[in-house]
Amino acid sequence: MNLYAIRAIYCFELARAWRTLFQSIATPVISTSLYFIVFGSAIGSSMSQIQSTPYAAFIVPGLVMMMLLTESIANASFGIYMPRYSGTIYEVLSAPISPLEIVTGYVGAAATKSVILGLLILLTARLFVDYRIGHPLWMVLFLLLTAVTFSLFGFIIGIWADGWEKLQIVPALIVTPLAFLGGSFYSIDMLPPFWAKLALLNPVVYLISGFRWSFYGVSDVHPALSLGITLGFLGVCLVLVRWIFRTGYRLKP
């Protein structure tokens, strides 16, 4: 394992986040804070509890998870697309480093930025609402797994995209709607029976449900199933990344 190569890619990607601190860190925190103000303080004060949890506290895990999904994909996809766009990816591919080391550097940096953002949002939420974390180790596990999994997914999108517009298609038209419909602001138990069953086809439901269980011990689906779905999607992403490097899909002319 070439640790020097991994560190070089990892540090370069993290340095880009610090150079664009407002865009990379401040903007997601500020935009998520607006959700706490509008949904938590304004709307939440007039709503009853959900699953024995005040509404303002109930939406905290959902908002963190929604931000984590979008930011993980955005960080990883942009991180690998820029070298492809500028042509510097060929220098990386010709260097004496393996595909595993390349993926570890790019995905590790994207996941690190997403986890930092998630923790910052959790700290910011304290300014607006009082919440508790019943299972902190499980919370950290779900946070790390989700960040790594969707950073891998973003890495795949960054390789698949052949234009700036395509970088936004999957996050804007698929991931964000699924996050809103995945129980970020409500429990699927509140839906009519037909729509509640249909919602179970949404994979984001399992991510948010498992993450919320680590806070309050309540969930729409069993936490073990949430963990299994997350690990399953992680496995699919790993298989796709392996196929990309084995075939050179959109990496080699």
Which one-letter amino acid corresponds to residue 20?
A: T
Give the pLDDT score at 176.
87
Rounded Cα–Cα distance for residues 144 and 105 (Å): 16
Give the pLDDT score at 39.
75
Tokens encoding 243: 């196929």
CA of residue 166 relative to chain centroid, distance: 18
Q: For the whole model, what pTM was predicted?
A: 0.92
Q: DSSP assignment of 34-81, as one string?
A: HHIIIIIIIIGGGS--BTTB-HHHHHHHHHHHHHHHHHHHHHHHHHHH
3-state secondary structure of 92: helix
Give the pLDDT score at 34.
83
Give the pLDDT score at 119.
92
**Token pair 């942009």 is at which residue?**
78
Rounded Cα–Cα distance for residues 125 and 35 (Å): 10
Cβ proximity of 187 and 50 under 8 Å: yes
Q: What is the pLDDT along the chain (253 residues), one digit of tens a residue?
A: 888 999 999 999 998 877 777 677 778 888 888 887 777 666 666 677 788 888 888 999 999 999 999 999 999 999 999 999 888 898 888 888 999 999 999 999 999 999 999 999 999 888 888 889 999 999 999 999 999 999 999 999 999 998 888 888 888 888 889 988 898 888 998 888 898 899 999 999 999 999 999 999 999 999 999 999 999 999 999 999 999 999 989 887 6
Give the pLDDT score at 136.
95
Give the pLDDT score at 45.
63
Tally of residues, the chain: 253
Give the pLDDT score at 41.
66
- What's 175's DSSP letter? I
Neighbours of 173 (CB within 10 A): 10
